[in-house]
Amino acid sequence: MELKKDSNAVSIDMLLIVHSEKRRAAQGTHSDRQADPGALPQRRGGLQGIGNEIRKWQKIEENGLYGNLAEKQHPQQTQVITSYDNQGTQLTVEVHPRDAMPQLLKKFSLAKRTQGDKNGNTRPRQPGGKDAHAYPWDRSSLKSMPLDLRQFEKLDTYASQVTVKSGLDELVNELLQEAHSDLERVRAIWIWICHHIEYDVEAAQEKDRQAFKPSNILRTQKTNCDGYAGLFEKMCRIAGVQCMTVPGYSKGFGYQTGQSFSGEFDHAWNAVYLEGRWHLLDSTWGSGLVDTATSKFTFLYNEFYFLTHPALFIEDHFPDNKNWQLLKPPQSLRQFENNMYHKSEFYNKGMLSAHPETPVIRTVNGKATVTVESRAPTLFMFMLNGKQEHGLLSLQKNGMKLEVYPPTMGTHKLQVFAKGSSDIYSSVLEYTLKCNYVDLGVRLPAELHQPVGPSWFSEQMGILKPSHPDPIIHTSDGRCSVSFGVEEGTSVLASLHGDEGPVSEETQRRYIFQLHREKRVELKVQLPHAGKFALKIFVKKRQEPGNYVFVFNYLLCCSNTKVNWPVFPESFGNWGQDNELLEPLSGVLPANRNVPFKLKLHGVAKALVKGQDTWPLTLNGEGYWEGSCSTAGCREVYVMVLENANHNFYSYILKYKVNDQ
């Protein structure tokens, strides 16, 4: 076209490059008119949402760095402006004196497109077959190329400590002082952005276009996802590394399990070209997270999103162009919406798979089952509607099994957390649980904590070879006996918990009588009534300060409504670990009766029973102390021992109550 206004009129030549259908097919790109189950629905008006924001970022960048062409450049000077979009379309505009020869046809080559940055970087082909990774994930690596993160330790430390500069060129040049390959250049830029640029929640909500401008990002050290991606691409260009910004949908801040995606894209990330292949990364999510309750950003570096394996990246990133999935076969938007979303911490903490593989699950006969496979033994916990209730979570050598029993019909939120090698539990899975039937016969005690049943963890804590390896114990008469080996120097504490009204901590332990035989501990349990109870096991190293630590619990079940066992006698600190009580086992004795006693006591000189009067116990040939006591006229009965024959001080070891007359 021509602009004729004065003697300094200029001609503007425009050259639009559009690949032929044949060439596009060769590159794996489908015609817009071709039906494609994996493609996004066609929109009018071009790319929307983030796509438009990215174009505007480029416009602001050009205006900010080079000024207005019409105002700041002499009209006789030839200028060539080249622009690309992420689908490979190239638009080149040449502004030259009216009578001058256009330079476009002389310089343009279909074989090699000029990128237009000061380093003369070129863009390679669109992603094709050699870039694609197999789907689903083969469990080989979290990364799209072999990496030893230890090789980056020195570079990461250096890049994270580089201070903010006034210009990108100066910043990139300083970052590259310790980078000696394209991979290291990308790593240095990644580390710097992730540790210095804060996610601007307010700008993201207001869609502030100025937040995309590099000079503003460096000044405020804040931006949103488009700014992160645009800044990363610009810094890579300066460093001489091929990089593209990729817009699309994401399962990020505000995502609801099972939601559908349509309309504007809500996120942007990058693809970098390293060692002859495209790779994906997301510096926005690598830098930290936004608290859903406060909408505040917190720096929390996440290695997962650096050169992520595409089969994992697709779980929460769906690009506008399916070729940027870098997958074979590519996934459709419907698959993206319906596939299970494993959070980055799922893989960071060594998880491999989870079942069910859909985000929405339904109960069967009032129960839903979730299993997780992990690379190594891992601690788990769960929450149903924000509470650690209504489920049985058992640890396995490489994973866990969870059975959930929703207390009401309807929709529930189920979250699974894992601890991994850190001391913090992180959310790794989230399901929407739909329940259309409640089994009223399955009411679990509120105090039934996680995990249930012995496991690798209880063995690690010093509890060995349990008599009951399964987490649930059924008893028909309301009594049971549980035993396990104990490592030397380990003390065990147990308590019983039901849901029948408030019970004191002392009473919770009185329905359990603990015996020691050699290196094994036996817990005799008597249930006060029918129902379900949590038998909680705690341990503590005797020589170490601090409290007992919860290890696991059993679920005890009894349907016999005639069960009404009393508590065991109360034991005191002098009750020896190797002592054994044969009778009476009931902690409540009948009034006005002669009650027989039989115990095995170690290391004592004398033993007696004290009520209204005192009755001595005698040692028989089998090593048991025997005798009887009258409960007439007393409310309490004590068993006492004399440990040293040369002393006259007796110690209390057992206490019984006597029924009222």
Name the active-site residue from 131, 226, 266, 282. 282
Q: Is the dihedral of CA 500, 506, 510, 514 positive or negative?
A: positive
The rounded distance, in Å, linking the Cα atoms of 638 and 146 is: 71
DSSP 318-346: EESSGGGG-EESPPPHHHHHHS----HHH
Residue 658, CA distances (Å) to 342, 571, 608 in order: 59, 16, 17
The rounded distance, in Å, linking the Cα atoms of 567 and 653 is: 16
Which segments within 559-613 are labelled E, that is strand? 570-571, 580-583, 588-589, 594-600, 606-610
- Reading the block at residue 402, the tokens are 């969870």
- Reading the block at residue 297, the tokens are 């950003």
- Reading the block at residue 254, the tokens are 């505000």
Bridge partners (DSSP) of residue 607 are: 617, 641
- State how far Cα 165 lies from the chain centre: 35
One-letter amino acid of 529: H
One-letter amino acid of 88: G
Enumerate helices (H) and strands (E) in the chain, giving the number of each: 16, 39
Name the active-site residue from 96, 267, 279, 317. 267
DSSP 8-state secondary structure symbol assigned to residue 138: -
Task: Tell me how many degrees the CA angle 312-314-319 measures, rounded to the nearest 5.
Answer: 150
Q: Is the dihedral of CA 157, 161, 167, 170 positive or negative?
A: negative
Do the beta carbons of residue 432 and residue 359 sit within 8 Å? yes
Per-residue b or e along 214-226, where b marks 16 or more CB atoms closer than 10 Å to that residue's CB: bebbbebebbbbb
Residue 67, CA distances (Å) to 83, 93, 208, 544 in order: 16, 17, 20, 70
Q: Omega into 616 within 30° of 0, i.e. cis? A: no
Residue 267: active-site member: yes
Name the active-site residue from 133, 208, 225, 317. 225
Residue 323, CA distances (Å) to 284, 339, 372 in order: 22, 19, 31
Residue 470: active-site member: no
The rounded distance, in Å, linking the Cα atoms of 579 and 416 is: 43
Q: Going by C-beta distance under 8 Å and a sequence separation of 6 or more, which residues neighbour residue 288?
A: 194, 198, 199, 297, 298, 299, 300, 301, 302
Q: Is the dihedral of CA 51, 56, 57, 62 positive or negative?
A: positive
Q: Going by C-beta distance under 8 Å and a sequence separation of 6 or more, which residues neighbour residue 221?
A: 164, 196, 197, 198
Residue 225: active-site member: yes
Q: Going by C-beta distance under 8 Å and a sequence separation of 6 or more, which residues neighbour residue 105?
A: none
The rounded distance, in Å, linking the Cα atoms of 432 and 337 is: 14
**Residue 324: how many other CB atoms lie within 10 Å:** 26
Secondary structure class of 445 (helix, strand, coil): coil
Which residues are part of the catalytic machinery? 225, 267, 282
